[in-house]
């Protein structure tokens, strides 16, 4: 935990020395696209492949015949659409500008 905080502090201090926005995290993936993919194609794991979670996407494909991934995907889609941009970027990949 301390190691992660030390790494986060180093990246924000290097961005502050460049004179840009200090530590603003922007998502590299769109939460709208991820949410819609999860709602409409969540049972096949398409949203997981989009977010770069290949292992989870393959599990969704393997168990798509049970209809459980469809339910979970629908719920995840609603969660993606309801989260803020900052939280989404922190959880699913983002970059500092």
Q: 65-79: per-residue pLDDT in tens?
A: 999 999 999 999 999
**Structural domain boundaries of the chain?**
2-96
* 93 and 27 Cβ atoms separated by less than 8 Å: yes
Residue range 3-58, pLDDT digits in tens: 444 444 444 444 444 555 567 777 788 999 999 999 999 999 999 999 999 999 99
> Residue 25: enclosing H or E segment and its boundaries?
strand 25-27
Q: Which of these, 86, 11, 92, lies nearest to 51 by C-alpha position?
A: 92
Residue 21's pLDDT is what? 53
pLDDT tier at 86 (50, 70, 90 boundaries)?
Answer: confident
Q: What is the pTM of this model?
A: 0.71
C-alpha 41/C-alpha 26 separation (Å) is: 25
């Amino acid at each position: 935990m301390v190691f992660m905080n030390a790494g986060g502090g180093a990246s924000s201090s290097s961005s502050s020395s460049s004179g840009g926005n200090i530590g603003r995290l922007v998502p590299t993936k769109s939460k709208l696209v991820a949410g819609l993919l999860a709602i409409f194609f969540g049972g096949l794991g398409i949203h997981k492949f989009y977010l770069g979670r290949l292992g989870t996407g393959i599990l969704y494909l393997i168990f798509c015949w049970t209809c459980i991934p469809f339910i979970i995907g629908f719920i995840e889609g609603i969660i993606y659409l309801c989260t803020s941009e900052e939280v989404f970027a922190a959880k699913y990949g983002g970059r500092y500008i």
